[in-house]
Chain A
Amino acid sequence: MLPQTRTARLALVAGFVALALLPLVLPPFYLMLGSTAFVAATFALSLQLLVGGTGLVSLGHAAFFGIAAYSVYLISPGDTPLSVFVTLPVAMIAAGLSALVIGAFALRTRTFFFLMVTLAFGQMVYFVFHDTGLGGGADGVFAPRPILGIEGFSLPMGRRERGLTLYYVNLAVMAATFLVLAGVLASLFGRVLVGIRVNEHRMRMLGYDVYAYKLAAFTLAGALAGLAGHMFVVQEGFVNPELVGWHRSAEALLIIILGGLGTLVGPILGAIALTALGEASQQLTERQLLVEGLVILAVVLVLPRGLAGLFSRRARSAVAVEVATAEDTPTAQTGPLGAAAPVRTEAAP
């Protein structure tokens, strides 16, 4: 999941530095667009822990994004903004706890059952916000933007400064999420998640409580999705049921596969690419979804390893390994050096 060579690590650092320097040349409109891409990247990174890390394809991840966003609105009294030091922990805990509860049910299922169940639970959350008066119903509601700091000592969020502030704050949030996930995946815990993705049954037979590990990953991914949802409210200042809708979950999957399935850099590349593409197609054709649909078709038909796969030979050879294991290892039929191995399984008469 992480860059393995020195060159790749340097390229990664250079990429982050370039993003940090970009505001020097970007007009203000593009600052906001960049900030939107970073929030999308943070959300996709949180999902990557499940998809690329643990092998769990969830279609309900937007539920945790939305729950965090709504919780900011729900705890803010009237139109009074609260400090981010209050809203952020509340939003992440709300999202994490929801993920714990939903995951406890959904993780009783596997593969496409899991996909359908996460989608359905996501839709349940959607209906909670859509059908009840909890958060403005179907139309949504304005939510006071949390103060980035404490009263009287906070980052500037006036109309003119907002773009630059949000650009750097969301870039920092994305970088922090990247580092947290990199740390998690390199930890003893993360290694078990990777083992579960590769061969869940074997991990169980080694004595791992696979369900508990998956639930922990699902909860952590939910809390980090909540971080992204919280930053959405900071940027946009409103909540509506679309935040929870499953199209957002599907779009995050698209970002992951667009960027490259097996990497942590992938979701960042994918989010920037998709945001740029969406903006360009909106300005050129006003048919953003049509372009998006065609791009997905192109990606799944001709670019199954994503953008990262274009640059990386490693990714391609990793495909070869995956195929080899998926077909129960071609070597299984032959001995060392390709010599035919004696077939002993049928030895008894």
Chain B
Amino acid sequence: MDAATLLTQVLNGLQYGLLLFLVASGLTLVFGIMGVINLAHGSLTMVGAYLAYAIGAATGSLWLALPLAVAAGAVFGAVLERVLIRRFYDRAHLDQVLLTFALILLFEEGRSLLVGNDFHSVPIPPVLDWSVPISSIFSYSAYRLFVLAVCVVIAALLFLVIHRTRFGGMIRASAEKPEMVEALGIPVSRVQMAVFALGTALAMLAGALSAPLTSVYPNMGDGVLIVSFVVVVIGGIGSIAGAFWGALLIGLVDTLGKALVPDLAGIAVYVLMAAVLLWRPTGLFARAA
């Protein structure tokens, strides 16, 4: 592999890892704060991707789809939390698994009823449909750079919100010292709804952003869900920093692995997970128990 290919793969890996972070951060916050395992989190990216496809097909532009995915995700997440998820905070993990598995089936069936079961490609917006020349022999997709930039901005905003705002303080307190939350006068119920809405919005945005790169297709959420689980296992539950570094690591390992050993790359991230489990079973960024 020459330097230009390597650089392309590294950039692809970072971009994939950052998209994964958008998905995994919501997953890990919902775990950490509500103790709920949401198998439908991957399907939310599917919903976001199909939203981008539908809006793109209707208006011919992706630009409307991105803000709409965020807004629709926030509203949808808030409603879902209020109507269904909320009832399962104190239930067994098995019940949570089945509830959210049912949601996957319903989302997929809804998608099938509304849009059908075909693959659809989503065009890259013309403004970004070109390659940025980086050196004399190497150029890189402008849209991928755009995705990278959007993800970096969102990750930075997320860190700021969580570490610099009152709302973020509540989230951290809920994740790290759940027994203190009542005493601190935190409106638990509203924080829970907001966190679920935030996670849903991020997942749907990730889906919409990735639609032009991956196309949209049935059950596309499954793969995202499982890789996001691997990110959370590696990073440690409830840790945003863990989700960030875990997602970048997975993005790079998966992308470079596929470039180097195409046959076995699907397995590389799981081998990495096994190694982390041997070394630190609670994740690389978990607080010491």
Contacts and interface: CB of A to CB of B under 8 A. Distances in A.
Nearest to A256: B94
B277 A250 contact: no
Contacts of B222: 246
A57 B229 contact: no
Contact of A116 (B103, B108, B233, B264): B233
Interface stretch (A124-132, A170-178, A179-187): A124-132
B101 A254 contact: yes
Contact of A127 (B39, B97, B108, B266): B266
B109 interface: yes
9 contacts: A112-B37, A120-B226, A120-B229, A120-B270, A127-B270, A130-B266, A254-B98, A297-B102, A301-B87
B97 A120 contact: no
Given A123-B226, A131-B263, A300-B102, 13 more contacts: A109-B281, A112-B31, A112-B35, A116-B233, A120-B229, A121-B274, A127-B270, A130-B266, A246-B222, A257-B94, A290-B106, A293-B106, A294-B106
B109 A120 contact: no
A120 B95 contact: no
A108 B279 CA distance: 10
A128 B263 CA distance: 9
A206 to B, nearest CB: 22
Contacts of B104: 293
Which of the four size classes fits the interface of chain B?
35 or more
A287 B117 CA distance: 13
Contacts of A261: 94
A105 interface: yes
Interface in B227-263: 229-230, 232-233, 237, 263
A93 interface: no
Given A127-B267, A297-B102, A112 B93 contact: yes
Contacts of A51: 94
B273 interface: yes
A294 B281 CA distance: 36
Interface string B174-197: 000000000000000000000000
A115 interface: yes
Interface string B98-138: 11011111101100000000000000000000000000000
B99 A296 contact: yes
A111 B237 CA distance: 12
A200 interface: no
A289 interface: yes
Contacts of A149: none
Interface string B25-45: 000000100010101000000
| Chain A interface SS verdict (over half) | helix
**A-B complex: 8 closest residue pairs judged by Cβ atoms:** A293-B105, A127-B266, A296-B102, A124-B270, A116-B229, A290-B109, A108-B281, A293-B106
A119 interface: yes
A253 interface: yes
B231 to A, nearest CB: 10
Contacts, number: 115
A109 B286 CA distance: 13
B98 A296 contact: yes
A316 to B, nearest CB: 16
Contact of A113 (B98, B226, B233): B233
A130 B273 CA distance: 20
A59 interface: yes
B1 interface: no
A267 B95 CA distance: 16
A300 B105 CA distance: 15
Interface string A252-274: 01100100010000000000000
A28 to B, nearest CB: 31
B232 A116 contact: yes
Nearest to B280: A108
Nearest to B37: A112
A119 B226 contact: yes
B9 to A, nearest CB: 19
B278 interface: yes
Interface in B69-115: 87-88, 91, 93-95, 97-99, 101-106, 108-109
A117 interface: yes
A299 interface: yes
Nearest to B265: A131
Q: B95, B267, B274: which has the most chain A beta carbons within 10 Å?
A: B274
A304 interface: yes
Contacts of A128: 266-267
